[in-house]
Amino acid sequence: MNTAEQDLRLEMLNSLLTTPHRKLEQVAETHQLMVEVDPLFYGHLAVWYQRYGDVRDHKEVFVSHLLTSGMADHRGAGFVLLQGLPPYQVARVIDFMKQKLGKVPRSTRTAVRRYLTRREQNPKQFDRAALRARKAIKHLYATLHIKPGARADAILFKNDPPDGSLAKVLKQIANAPHPSEQARLIVEFKIPYAIATGSIQQLTPTVLAALIHNMSPQEVINHLKSLKARGAMDHAEMKQLIDDKLGKAQTDTRISAFKAQVAAEAVDVDAETTAKLEKVTDKQVKRRGTIGKSTALLVDKSGSMSSAIEVGKRLAAMISGISQADLFVYAFDTIPYPVQSQGSDLSDWERAFKLIKAGGGTSLGCALEVMCQHQQKVDQIILVTDEGGNTTPYFAETYQRYCREFGLLPNVVIVRVGHAYKLVENQLRQQQAPVETFTFQGDYYALPNLVPLLTRPSRLELLMEIMETPLPIRY
């Protein structure tokens, strides 16, 4: 793999961080470029990202492009990957294909027909899917003109669910005369929180406790604001149930790494619950791999760089939690400020950055200059900034001196925030220095995408890992 190809593929991989969550228009542009530039690499990247990626939008668009590809292997892989998506994502894939790609091939219709038929053949699976994603499943039948079986038709379209179906049980719950009977049915049939709250007129403490009992750790995090509004956090028994779920969230493989932190910031909960949510984020991040290379994290704290400080905190927690080598953290304006934490949890780094406030000019090379003076050697440098340096020492010049002093060639990862320039990137490329860039646009869910790039011994190894990821085969 020559250098030009490697750089191009890394740019493709890096671009996965540039699109905010739930903005499919920007996601679509990124993927269209990837498909045109290197369709072969794109196919392997699509499968690799389904396993290791975090942003659902990317996963959906990957599957869409595979299904509409001119390569039979891609279409087969898309067929298989579609079968593993939840119904609401399948519906989003089909809508994206219709609205953005302008086509839904016959093979895709076959894939969706098989998807729905297999669920119809398993009444328990179909019933639960119909409860959680009724609108999406109806949309799939209707938009692709797929005829449902008699049982599916009765549940979805005729509103006449048969005895024993979950839809029938939901009607029984809504009409049950006593909360204890409602709670019994909720627990016995594992009725989801979002469905029950839309069907039951009055949620008594008994019913609410039953719903929390049924919720997955991710559902508790997703609905924490609603639970608090319904008084669950003020009720000792329900508060304990919630705490137990948050404890399990630390090891649940289905938890999004930063969703717990977002919930902690969005919901006014007590200090104990906030600490549990932060612990969930910390544990989930630490599951993602191990960094064996010494790392410097340099965070721009100059005027208007408050966003860089916030990103820096999260990156520091993410890296320190999975690093087995030295980590040096500096905030800087025209002088560097060493930042040291007493632990690796996000709460520890929040305290470590407590006195770091945005303000002052910008010397992008001052922290690296001090590292050189202190003999702090690293294999990779993460620079969180808008690249708007206006004071010496400048980063590219200091980087050259650092490399000569220690005989090293650290990889530089620029995490762009705010209204970013390309000054440092261009200067480093002119020096033929190894540099990668990420444009952060406010979506903390995407930050864990950096982990694979920081944990592999080399970027080439990561690219080869992606290329060696086999495409699933349709049988």
d(CA 352, CA 344): 10
pLDDT at 263: 67
Q: Which residue has the tokens 């740019």?
A: 11
- CA dihedral sign of residues 94, 99, 100, 101: positive
Q: What is the CATH number of domain 295-456?
A: 3.40.50.410
Contacts of 234 (CB under 8 A, 6+ apart): none
Per-residue pLDDT of the chain (475 residues; tens, 9 = 90+): 455 555 567 666 666 655 555 566 667 777 888 888 889 999 999 999 998 877 788 899 999 999 999 999 999 999 999 999 999 999 999 999 999 999 999 999 999 999 999 999 999 999 999 999 999 999 999 999 999 999 999 999 998 999 989 999 999 998 888 989 999 999 999 888 888 888 787 888 999 999 999 888 888 988 888 898 888 888 889 999 998 998 888 877 777 666 676 666 667 777 788 778 777 877 776 776 788 899 999 999 999 899 999 999 989 988 998 888 999 999 999 999 999 999 888 789 999 999 999 999 999 999 999 999 999 999 999 999 999 888 999 999 999 999 999 999 999 999 999 888 889 999 999 998 988 888 887 777 677 777 877 887 667 778 888 999 999 998 7
DSSP 398-452: HHHHHHHHHT---EEEEEE-SS---HHHHHHHHTT--EEEEE--S-GGGGGGGHH
User: 3-state class of 295 per DSSP?
Assistant: strand
Rounded Cα distance, 470 and 47, in Å: 8
The angle that helices 166-175 and 179-189 make with each other, rounded to 10 degrees, is: 160
End-to-end Cα separation, the chain, in angstroms: 32
Query: In terms of C-beta density within 10 A (0-12 exposed, 13-18 middle, 19 or more buried), how is residue 45 classed?
Result: buried
| Residue 261, pLDDT score | 65
- State the maximum Cα–Cα separation within the chain, in Å, rounded to a whole number: 80
Residue 85, φ and ψ in degrees, nearest 5: -85, 150
Sign of CA dihedral 415, 418, 421, 423: negative
Q: Quick one: pLDDT at residue 378?
A: 96
Report d(CA 346, CA 368) in Å as an integer: 24
CA atoms of 156 and 15, how far apart (whole Å)? 40
Domain boundaries, the chain: 3-156, 166-286, 295-456
**What are 236-245's contacts with CB under 8 Å, separation 24+?**
237/205, 237/209, 238/205, 238/208, 238/209, 238/212, 241/209, 241/212, 241/213, 242/212, 242/273, 243/272, 243/273, 243/276, 245/212, 245/215, 245/216, 245/217, 245/220
Neighbours of 98 (CB within 10 A): 14
Q: Which of 392, 340, 339 is nearest to 369 (CA)?
A: 392
What pLDDT shows up at residue 274? 78
